[in-house]
Amino acid sequence: MKLTCDNVFPELWDYLTEHVTPERKLRFEEVVSMRTRHLSVVVEDIFQPHNASAVLRTCECYGIQDVHIIENKNQYQINPDVVIGSANWISLHRWNEKQHNTEDCLLHLINSGYQIVATSLNEEAISLPDFIPQKKTALIFGNEVEGISDIVKAHADFFLRIPMYGFTESFNISVSAAICLSKLCEVLKNSSINWQLSEHEQRTLLLEWICKHLKNADVIIDRFLKKNQTAQH
């Protein structure tokens, strides 16, 4: 019997969640219902690990499932004290096979139907309160010193600016991500935009999450498959 999330999901999900509390099962189902891939976040060549880790934690809190980390000059290492387990629940995509990885990441996103929206200090950029992500949107944050690269600028469909009213010219990158996601996720949830995951995506994530949660998930799944094979015969 081939194991796919669609052909065995209801039965397998019920079987696996017999090993967790009803409250935990409900929490899994509530969280996945609020997950989105309509927004994805990209961080480009961040050199302070705690900043990138803080972005991951923010993304998980706001229900962003896909985070892309571009590593050109700077290799990313998760800071467990900052992430506090949040990386277990998101899909982390690391772009680090080449010396320059930005374009590969952006082309992948474009080919996957995303518009590229880069954060910028440019006064001509769209102000965050005025931006509505009608299309799937990849939100790009540059590194702490140089900001977004020229490659990002060349591929960007729009530039997004966070309004600021003080003397300081920019926010910390993790703060910028939190402000943007707070606003854009609120816009999505109050709109008619189809921002939620498909049923197939939700089922896939639920099985991934429960398998991470259960120490002996492989044994339980094997027992389930043998039970189903016996029932079929």
Overall residue count recorded for the chain in this entry:
233
Q: Which of 73, 75, 76, 81 is nearest to 57 (CA)?
A: 81
Q: How far apart are CA 116 and CA 110, in angstroms?
A: 7
pLDDT at 67 over 50: yes
Q: Is the pLDDT of residue 233 over 50?
A: no
> pLDDT tens-digit profile of 108-150?
999 999 999 999 888 789 999 999 999 999 999 988 778 899 9
In a 3-state reduction of DSSP, which class is residue 42? strand
The most distant pair of C-alpha atoms in the chain lies apart, rounded to whole Å, by 74
- Domains, the chain, with CATH or none: 5-31+198-232 (no CATH), 41-189 (3.40.1280.10)
- Asked if 122 and 159 count as a contact pair (C-beta separation under 8 A), the reply is yes
pTM over 0.85: yes
Q: In whole angstroms, give the CA distance from residue 67 to residue 43.
A: 8
Residue that is written with structure tokens 């707070």 in the block: 182
Please spell the DSSP secondary structure of 115-178, one letter per residue: EEEEE---TTSEEGGG----S-EEEEE-BTTTBS-HHHHHH-SEEEE----SS-----HHHHHH
